[in-house]
């Protein structure tokens, strides 16, 4: 079963976006990792602001696991795309391989990475 994790908004202006969402949501962040990302919890919904410039500016502070896919991992490229790919919906499951195969079998996913 797939459950909701969080929605990431990838931004060029982390501080500006953080200020905007604090005012809009009338709350402070629940968690923050330096200026890489910050997360708001809203009635069980996670909304995260991701700094698209952080990884390129601080490569020594970024730990990557597994193969990199520029389509999903190159934040610098993503923030310069013309209004596409700047939101990531993070879903959770206890059996990733099972859900991966189910999505492939249903033919509802595109640009799936290898497992």
pLDDT at 85: 56
pLDDT at 30: 96
Cα dist from 8 to 4, 36, 38, 68, whole Å? 12, 12, 9, 18
* Chain-centre distance for alpha carbon 11: 11
């990733």: which residue's tokens?
96
* Exposure on the CB side of residue 63, measured as CA atoms within 13 A: 1
**The two three-digit tokens of residue 10, written as one number:** 């990838």
Q: What are phi and psi of 76, to 5 degrees?
A: -60, -40
pLDDT at 84: 61
What averages of pLDDT result for each successive group of 10 residues across the chain (115 residues)?
Answer: 85 92 91 95 89 90 80 75 72 88 85 80
**The two three-digit tokens of residue 44, written as one number:** 């069980």
The pTM for the full model equals 0.71
CB atoms within 10 A of CB 38: 22
């Amino acid at each position: 079963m797939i459950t909701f994790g969080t929605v990431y908004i990838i931004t060029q202006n982390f501080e500006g976006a953080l200020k905007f969402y604090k005012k809009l949501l009338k709350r402070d962040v629940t968690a923050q990792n330096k200026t890489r990302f910050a997360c708001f919890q809203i009635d069980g919904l996670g909304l995260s602001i991701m700094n698209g410039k952080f990884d390129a500016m601080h490569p020594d502070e970024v730990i990557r696991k597994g193969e990199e896919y520029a389509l999903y991992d190159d934040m610098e490229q993503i923030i310069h795309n013309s209004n596409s790919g700047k939101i990531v919906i993070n879903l959770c499951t206890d059996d990733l391989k099972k859900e991966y195969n189910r999505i492939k079998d249903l033919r509802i996913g595109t640009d799936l990475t290898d497992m």
